[in-house]
Amino acid sequence: MLFFTTLSTNTSHPRQSKLAKSAESSKHSFNVFNTSVIAASIGFACMANTAFAQEVEPSEEILTDGQLEVITVNARRRQESLQDTPIAVSAFSAKELERRGIESTQDLDRVTPSLQFATSGQLSGNNSAAVVFIRGIGQLDPTSSVDPGVGIYVDDVYMGRSAGGAMDFKDIASVEVLRGPQGTLFGRNTIGGAVLVRSADPSDDFGGKARVRIGEDNLKEGFVAVDLPISDELLTRFSAGMRKRDGYVTREFDGQDLGNDDTYTLNGTVLYQPSDKFKMTIRGDFTEEDENGSPFVFAGVNESAPVAAIVSVAAGCPGATIPFAPLVPGDPRFGAPNVPNIDDPRCANDFQYKGEYTNGGNAPVESTLTAWGLSAALEWELNKQFIVKSISAYRSTEWTGIRDADNTQLELITTDVASDSEQFSQEFQVLFESDKVSGITGLYYFDESSDDRLSIFLGFPPSPPVIGSLLNGGPATRDLQVIHLETESYAIFSEWAYPLSDDLSFSAGLRYTEDDKRFQGTIMNLFPSTAPDPSPLPTLATSEGGPLFIFDELFSDTYSATTGSASVRYKLQDNINTYLSYSSSFKSGGFNSRYNAPTPDNLPISFGEEEVSSWEVGIKADVTKNLRINAAAFMSEYKDIQLIFRQGVVPLLFNAGSASIDGFELEFTYIPSGNLMIEGGFSYLNDKIDSVTDIDGAAATITPDNSLPLTPELQGNIGASYAVEVGNNYELTTRIDVSYTDSQYFDSSNTEIVAQSDAVTYVTASMKLDNLVGYWDVTLGINNLTDERFLEQGNASLATLGYAEVIYARPRNWFLSFSTEF
């Protein structure tokens, strides 16, 4: 019997200080689950130490029932055994993901150490926007002007935008999570690591698979994939999927459900292989999402913030005052900014809180995505030593996100974001392999063009016309930002591995990258807010009621870096490898795109690149035929961090910080018998902000006492499955998975009101009945079995705008699926 402890979750009023009491409760809540993980880790380590003196057969032979399988990865851009790769990698096949209940990228952090994968990025309001952190490094801002800190690759193609990075796993072959900088073989914007998704290839025979699923909240899901071989040389595979589900947050204003699913996908692959020496793979994909909006809810308000006071007075809140000179002498509504804490819907205060799954907003909300891509991968085997590869790809991504940021019926702030981006990439690789040396050399080119439109409705700035309009029940103002960005990136890279002896090998590589970025934009403040967008946009700044300023030419800047890696791998025994590695990477700089006041000389404010260097030591051991333990310890130096500073209400990025991060990670698989499997992982992260540099005219949102966002100190997971035969033709598998995530912050400011202050234990369970003759199965599962109430995302701007918002996880929900292969 498997025992686990459910951790309590604070569901008190959102304005109560959570982190003040979390330190002790988090340590206490850690109790059973993490103590068990640590004890298991120590136990496995002792077993490993004892087993090191034993002879273990080569892993290629460990393939029988109840024993470990050989896992092949592409973490170094060539196929090799996971156990031989001197990199911390979590690798999952499609069957393993299905077994562990991992249905999308955002589920990966339940089974991967040091990974946090969230959706609905800050300020985007889009359900497909990915916020990914590995080992404390990533990027919160989903806008086109800022690059991700963790690279997402689909079939060796880099996805330049965070929108679309949160995806369902429909027709895939494998997923790999590479932890630590990947600056040599994967290049720019992989300072935290990389996530590699690989699609399923066509089969030689006609066949396929299909799945239907129903469940809680009117869940309806369907998927089908078909292999259609045209000839022995030409193979094809096509798949289609859909997913619909009601949202779990209800808007009190109109009953609209937020956080719903409404997604359609199409995929196709053509594989042409006329000989053993040449192969061409062409892939295409299409995704469309049309959803109601991100499931944010009210988390709190700063009653002394100017905007909160303005909208409260405008709504008629008794006793509220505006912090500006009165339009009419003696008007009692003017004075120090204040909103009384009374239960009145006209007042912007904590009584606007409606609950964890009720939204109090009234502005239009939506989340849409239309994305499609084409890629062609060509591979020539010139001889037994040389292989040449070419990867060409084009991708188009359009998305919108409209959110009522204050989540009340008052008009503090509403954001309306639309983005349209296109990217083209070309990569050439030459792979060499001989008995004495192996390596890869390549050239990479990336070209992207993005057009963003951001419209922000808010009760600001506080000019007399705006205040007068609001007090008379009229509209406020609207900031309109129309931005055009272009990026060209060039890189050359090479990495080589040298066996120094039968047990000792050395590898090293370098990459040079140069990014050219261009920026142009129009920044306007429209009054009244109901005024339409000017068409065409003006090209010269005008007086009040027109543009604040115009970036009327393409401003450009160049960012470059030389990054590298080196590793030494030593084989203690046939199935026990140790390694020491060094790696570095950089995240490109760019131009800030959010403004609400003219900049000096009407010049855009740029920021430079970030850099990360990391040392890592690890061991990968198939201790016995049924026990595998992989562990790594690392320390990283994080320099020139792109930190958010505020100029007024506007968040701007500056290179103004440094940090150090170190930690330990462990993963294990144990198969004591043919019908029982136990697997899990654990990570410990220790982050420290070493310095924050002052920026003239801007206020820092972070101090050396802060923690990095999305960097929980402790994280762990453990799962077990047990299979029994039922009759002659059936097998019943019971599965339970438990993941633990320590308390964490969702912003670099460490805003307590939007932090997950309690540790979270998340449990999933399932029972699967397999028909071993008819090739079908039925699965009944439950997600969030213990109905934990915890935060998945948070965002706040309390100083001036005065709002705070959070997203809670979906409550406990069940599903029933039927799958078949043909």
Model pLDDT for residues 357-378, shown as the tens digit of each residue: 999 999 999 999 999 999 999 9
The answer to whether the beta carbons of residues 793 and 119 sit under 8 Å apart is yes
Tokens standing for residue 57: 């057969």
Instruction: Using alpha carbons, select from 162, 10, 219 the residue that is nearest to residue 806.
Output: 10
Position 32 in a domain: yes
The answer to whether the beta carbons of residues 524 and 480 sit under 8 Å apart is yes
Position 687 in a domain: yes
User: What is the spatial distance between Cα 181 and Cα 75, in angstroms, rounded to a whole number?
Assistant: 12
Contacts of 492 (CB under 8 A, 6+ apart): 442, 443, 444, 511, 512
DSSP string of 433-496, one letter each residue: E-SS-EEEEEEEEEEEEEEEEEEEEES-S--HHHHHHHHTT---EEEEEEEEEEEEEEEEEEEE
**pLDDT(40) > 50:** no
Range from 31-35, 540-544, 686-690 carrying the lowest mean pLDDT = 31-35
User: What is the spatial distance between Cα 726 and Cα 729, in angstroms, rounded to a whole number?
Assistant: 7
User: What is the spatial distance between Cα 356 and Cα 366, in angstroms, rounded to a whole number?
Assistant: 20
Which residues constitute the domain of residue 188?
A: 19-303+349-821
Position 322 in a domain: no
pLDDT in tens, 638-669: 999 998 888 777 788 999 999 999 999 999 99
The answer to whether the beta carbons of residues 119 and 647 sit under 8 Å apart is no
In DSSP terms, 684 is beta-bridged to 664, 714
Place of tokens 């600056």: 183
Q: How many CA atoms lie within 13 A of 152 on its CB side?
A: 22
User: What is the spatial distance between Cα 530 and Cα 532, in angstroms, rounded to a whole number?
Assistant: 6
pLDDT band (50, 70, 90) for residue 119: confident
pLDDT band (50, 70, 90) for residue 20: very low
Alpha-carbon Rg of the chain, whole angstroms? 27
Predicted local confidence at residue 699, as pLDDT: 82
Place of tokens 């239309």: 370
Instruction: Using alpha carbons, select from 807, 765, 758, 755 the residue that is nearest to residue 785.
Output: 765
Amino acid at 207: G
Sort strands 249-251 and 358-359 into parallel, antiparallel or unpaired: parallel
**pLDDT(789) > 70:** yes
Q: In terms of residues, how long is the chain?
A: 822
Position 319 in a domain: no
* HEC assignment per residue over 658-671: EEEEEEEEEEEEEE
Exposed e or buried b for every residue in 276-300, given b needs 16+ CB within 10 A? eeebbbbbebebbbebbbbbbbbbb
26 phi, psi to nearest 5 deg? -65, -45
- Cβ atoms < 10 Å from Cβ of 751: 20
* HEC assignment per residue over 128-142: CECEEEECCEECCCC
Instruction: Please count the structural domains in the chain.
Output: 1
Position 313 in a domain: no
User: What is the spatial distance between Cα 425 and Cα 347, in angstroms, rounded to a whole number?
Assistant: 52
With a pLDDT cut of 90, the percent of the chain lying above it is: 69
Q: What is the DSSP letter of 235?
A: E
Host H or E run for residue 312: helix 306-315
Exposed e or buried b for every residue in 405-435, given b needs 16+ CB within 10 A? bbbbbbbbbbbbbbbbbebebebebebeeee
Amino acid at 208: G
Predicted local confidence at residue 56, as pLDDT: 34
Distance of CA 99 to CAs 92, 651, 678, 733, 736, Å? Answer: 10, 43, 12, 10, 10
pLDDT in tens, 676-724: 999 999 999 999 999 999 888 888 888 999 999 999 999 999 999 999 9
CATH number, position 629: 2.40.170.20
Sort strands 657-673 and 627-639 into parallel, antiparallel or unpaired: antiparallel
User: What is the spatial distance between Cα 711 and Cα 741, in angstroms, rounded to a whole number?
Assistant: 10
**pLDDT(4) > 60:** no
- Say whether 719 sits in a helix, a strand or coil: strand
Q: Is the torsion defined by CA of 214, 220, 221, 222 positive or negative?
A: positive
**pLDDT(783) > 60:** yes
Exposed e or buried b for every residue in 199-236, given b needs 16+ CB within 10 A? bbebbeeeebbbbebebbbebebebbbbbebeeeeebb
User: What is the spatial distance between Cα 292 and Cα 269, in angstroms, rounded to a whole number?
Assistant: 32
Q: How many CA atoms lie within 13 A of 85 on its CB side?
A: 22
User: What is the spatial distance between Cα 91 and Cα 102, in angstroms, rounded to a whole number?
Assistant: 13
Instruction: Using alpha carbons, select from 225, 15, 145, 162 the residue that is nearest to residue 642.
Output: 145
pLDDT band (50, 70, 90) for residue 547: low
Predicted local confidence at residue 639, as pLDDT: 96
Q: What share of the chain is helix, strand, coil (3-state, %, to 5)?
A: 10, 55, 40
pLDDT band (50, 70, 90) for residue 19: very low
Position 312 in a domain: no
**pLDDT(579) > 80:** yes
492 phi, psi to nearest 5 deg? -130, 135
Predicted local confidence at residue 546, as pLDDT: 55
Comparing 56 with 231, the larger pLDDT belongs to: 231
Comparing 606 with 603, the larger pLDDT belongs to: 606
Instruction: Using alpha carbons, select from 646, 453, 452, 461 the residue that is nearest to residue 544.
Output: 461
pLDDT in tens, 377-416: 999 999 999 999 999 999 999 999 999 999 999 988 899 9
Predicted local confidence at residue 479, as pLDDT: 87
The answer to whether the beta carbons of residues 485 and 516 sit under 8 Å apart is no
**pLDDT(727) > 50:** yes
Mean pLDDT value of segment 547-566: 86
**pLDDT(330) > 90:** no
Instruction: Using alpha carbons, select from 348, 336, 434, 295 the residue that is nearest to residue 807.
Output: 295
Peptide bond into 528 cis (omega under 30): yes
Mean pLDDT value of segment 103-115: 96
Burial status of residue 560 (CB atoms within 10 A of its CB: 0-12, 13-18, 19 or more): middle
User: What is the spatial distance between Cα 235 and Cα 283, in angstroms, rounded to a whole number?
Assistant: 12
Angle between helix 306-315 and helix 464-471 axes, rounded to 10 deg: 40
279 phi, psi to nearest 5 deg? -145, 135
Tokens standing for residue 291: 């959803």
Instruction: Using alpha carbons, select from 261, 181, 191, 176 the residue that is nearest to residue 221.
Output: 261
**pLDDT(39) > 60:** no
Position 7 in a domain: no
Place of tokens 């990026």: 487
The answer to whether the beta carbons of residues 11 and 356 sit under 8 Å apart is yes
Place of tokens 């100017």: 306
Q: What is the DSSP letter of 390?
A: E
Tokens standing for residue 249: 């947050």
Q: How many CA atoms lie within 13 A of 42 on its CB side?
A: 5
Angle at 513 between CA 508 and CA 514, to 5 degrees: 165
**pLDDT(725) > 60:** yes
Tokens standing for residue 677: 């499997």
- Say whether 715 sits in a helix, a strand or coil: strand
Strands (E), 205-295: 207-215, 219-227, 234-245, 249-251, 257-258, 261-275, 278-291
Predicted local confidence at residue 462, as pLDDT: 63
User: What is the spatial distance between Cα 283 and Cα 374, in angstroms, rounded to a whole number?
Assistant: 6
Mean pLDDT value of segment 740-753: 93
User: What is the spatial distance between Cα 283 and Cα 237, in angstroms, rounded to a whole number?
Assistant: 9
**pLDDT(185) > 50:** yes
Mean pLDDT of the chain: 88
User: What is the spatial distance between Cα 611 and Cα 583, in angstroms, rounded to a whole number?
Assistant: 11
Position 9 in a domain: no
Mean pLDDT value of segment 498-517: 96
pLDDT in tens, 238-294: 999 999 999 999 999 999 999 999 999 999 999 999 999 999 999 999 999 999 999
Host H or E run for residue 803: strand 803-808
Contacts of 178 (CB under 8 A, 6+ apart): 75, 87, 88, 89, 186, 190, 193, 194, 195, 196
**pLDDT(192) > 80:** yes
Mean pLDDT value of segment 76-105: 94
Mean pLDDT value of segment 8-15: 36
Amino acid at 392: S
Q: What is the DSSP letter of 106?
A: G
User: What is the spatial distance between Cα 476 and Cα 531, in angstroms, rounded to a whole number?
Assistant: 11
In DSSP terms, 687 is beta-bridged to 661
